[in-house]
Structure 1
C-alpha cells in the first residue's frame, strides 16, 4: 500500500480543521474537516478555484435554506423545493463545485431549526476554518522538476532514436525497426503534457511555463516525424539522393537540443536540395515516385529544423 502526498495533506488538513473548530467550541465542528476534505486538489490553481466556489456556495446555501425553511417549514419535503431551485442557481452562478459542500451547511440549518445571529456566526467560522485550512495546506506542492526533466530526456531520446531509424532506412534501404518508439513518444508526450500543466497550475504567479513551451515544440516535432514515415516507407530502392539525406538525418539526430546548429542544418539541407535539382530527370516512373517521396521528406525536414 502506497500513501501519496495528497493523502497525507488531506489527513493533516482535516485534523487541523477539526482541532481548530473544536478549540473554538464551535457547534458542528467536525464539518470543518469535511469541508477541508472536499477542497484538497491536485494543484494550487484547482485548490484556489475549489475554495472560492465552495465559499460562495456555502454562504448561498446558508442564506437560501434559512429563508426557505422559515417559509415552508423544517420538513423533509422542503429539500425537494430547495434542491430543485438551489442546484440550478449554483450552476447559473458557476459555483456548482460547491453544491456538495453547501449541503453540509444546509443540513446544519435544518437540524438547528432556529434563525439566530450566533448560529450564523458559528457556520461562518466553520466555513472559514474548513476552507482556509484546505487552502493553506494545499498551497505547499512538492516540486516536479525532476519528473519533468526525466520526461524531457526520454522525449529527446525517442526522437533521436526515430531519426536514426529513418536515416538507416534512407541509407541502407532496409531496417528491422518495428516502430515502437513512435508509440512510446506519443505516450511520453501525453504524460509530459499532464505534468507541465500541473507545474503551471502550481506556479500561479509565473506568466508562462518553459516546460509547456518545450513539450509543445516536441509535440510539433512528433507530428512531423509521423508525417515523414509514409513517404519514407514508399522509397523502395537505394538512391544516392536518399543516402545523402540519410546522412543528414543521422547528423540531425545527434545534435538535438543544440539550438546553435539550427542555421547550419538549414544551410546543409538547402545545399542538398540545390544539388538534387542539378541531377538528371528520372528515367522511369518508378524512379520518379521514389524521388517524389524524397522531396516530401525534405519538405518535412525543413519544417522539423524550424522547430529546433
Structure 2
C-alpha cells in the first residue's frame, strides 16, 4: 500500500492509465495525455490542485488562440511564432506558466492538422482532460506526515533541552563541549526538513486552512536563531559572579521545561525576579567585571526573547481555540 504514495509509482501508473484511456477513446497523439499526467503529479494536494487548474486554463487559452491564429493567418512558422509571442506573455500575465509547455504541444497538433475542425479541438480538449484528470485522482493519495511531525517535535525539544543544559554548565566552567557544534548543525538540518514537512501537511489539507504545523516549526526555528545568539556570548565569558550562578540555575530550569505545552509564564516571572535581584547587587568594580556582567545581562535578555517567542505562540493558539 505504501507504493501508492511514491511519486515515481504514481507517475508511471497515471501515465499508463491516461494512455490506455486515450486509446480507448481513439484520441490522436494519445501519448501526450500520458506526458501531461506525469507532469501533473505533485507532492501536495493544494499544489496539485493549483497546477492542474493552471494547466487547464493554459490549454483552453492555447486552443482558442491557435484556432484564431492558424484559421485566419494560415499555418506557417511565422504564425506559430506569432502564437508564441502572444501566448507566452499571457501565461505569465495570468500566472499560469505551469501549463505553458503542455499547451504549446497541443497547439502544435492544430498547427500540423490539415484543417482545424471541431474534431481536432475536441481531441486536444480530451488530451488535456484525461492527462490532468487522471493525475488529479492520483494526487488524492498523499502520505500522512503527522507521525513524522511528532517525531520532529520530540527530536527538536530533546536537543533544545540538551543544548541549554550544556549552556548551564558552560556558564560555570567557561568550557564548551566538543560535540555541541555537531548537535547544533544536525539540529539545524532537521529543523529545515521539519519546516518542509510542516508545509506539506498544511498543503495536503484541502478542506480547511491549518497553519499550526508551519507556525510551530517556524516558532522553533526562531528559537534556534536565539540559541545560536546565546552560544555566541560564551566567547566573552571569563569571569564568574553571583549572577552567573543564578543565571546558570535558571538556564537549567528552562532546559528542563522545554516541551510543547509549556506557556513559559512561570519562567518569564522567574526571569524578571532574577533581573530585580541583579539590580540590587553591588556594582562592578573593574572594567573587566563590568564587561562580563553586561554580557551576562545580554544573555539573560536573549533568554527572555527565547521564552517570549514560545509564549506568544501559545497565546495565539489559545485565542484561536477560544474563537472556535
Shorter-chain TM-score bucket reads over 0.9
Instruction: Give the conservation status (yes or no) of the 8 Å contact 1:62–1:106.
Output: yes
Residue among 280, 283, 289 paired with 1:281: 283
Task: Provide the residue aligned with 1:193 in structure 2.
Answer: 195
Instruction: Give the conservation status (yes or no) of the 8 Å contact 2:174–2:238.
Output: yes
Residue 307 of structure 1 aligns to a residue in which SS? helix
Structure-1 separation of matches of 2:168 and 2:21: 66
Task: Provide the residue aligned with 1:140 in structure 2.
Answer: 141
Task: Provide the residue aligned with 2:56 in structure 1.
Answer: 55
After TM superposition, list the pairs within 5 Å mapping 1:1-308 onto structure 2.
5-177=6-178, 178-257=180-259, 259-260=261-262, 262-308=264-310
Structure-2 separation of matches of 1:173 and 1:92: 59
Count of matched residue pairs = 307
In structure 1, stretches of 5+ residues that fail to align are none
The answer to which of 250-259 and 130-139 deviates more is 250-259
Task: Provide the residue aligned with 2:315 in structure 1.
Answer: none
Using the TM superposition, give the Cα deviation of residue 129 of structure 1 relative to its aligned residue in structure 2, in angstroms: 1.3
Q: 1:66 to 1:261 in 2, by over 3 A?
A: closer
Using the TM superposition, give the Cα deviation of residue 54 of structure 1 relative to its aligned residue in structure 2, in angstroms: 0.9
Query: For 1:215-241, what per-residue CA distance to the aligned partner results, in whole angstroms no more than 9, with x for missing partners?
Result: 111112112212222333312112221
Using the TM superposition, give the Cα deviation of residue 150 of structure 1 relative to its aligned residue in structure 2, in angstroms: 2.2
Q: 1:160 to 1:260 in 2, by over 3 A?
A: closer
Using the TM superposition, give the Cα deviation of residue 296 of structure 1 relative to its aligned residue in structure 2, in angstroms: 0.9
The answer to which of 125-134 and 260-269 deviates more is 260-269
Instruction: Give the conservation status (yes or no) of the 8 Å contact 1:192–1:215.
Output: yes
Using the TM superposition, give the Cα deviation of residue 8 of structure 1 relative to its aligned residue in structure 2, in angstroms: 0.5
Q: 1:261 to 1:146 in 2, by over 3 A?
A: closer
Residue 204 of structure 1 aligns to a residue in which SS? coil
Residue 127 of structure 2 aligns to a residue in which SS? helix
Using the TM superposition, give the Cα deviation of residue 4 of structure 1 relative to its aligned residue in structure 2, in angstroms: 7.7
In structure 2, stretches of 5+ residues that fail to align are 311-324
Instruction: Give the conservation status (yes or no) of the 8 Å contact 2:4–2:141.
Output: no
Q: 1:263 to 1:85 in 2, by over 3 A?
A: closer
Query: For 1:277-301, what per-residue CA distance to the aligned partner results, in whole angstroms no more than 9, with x for missing partners?
Result: 2211111111111111111111112
Structure-1 separation of matches of 2:254 and 2:212: 23
Using the TM superposition, give the Cα deviation of residue 13 of structure 1 relative to its aligned residue in structure 2, in angstroms: 0.8
Q: 1:3 to 1:12 in 2, by over 3 A?
A: closer
Structure-1 separation of matches of 2:122 and 2:261: 61
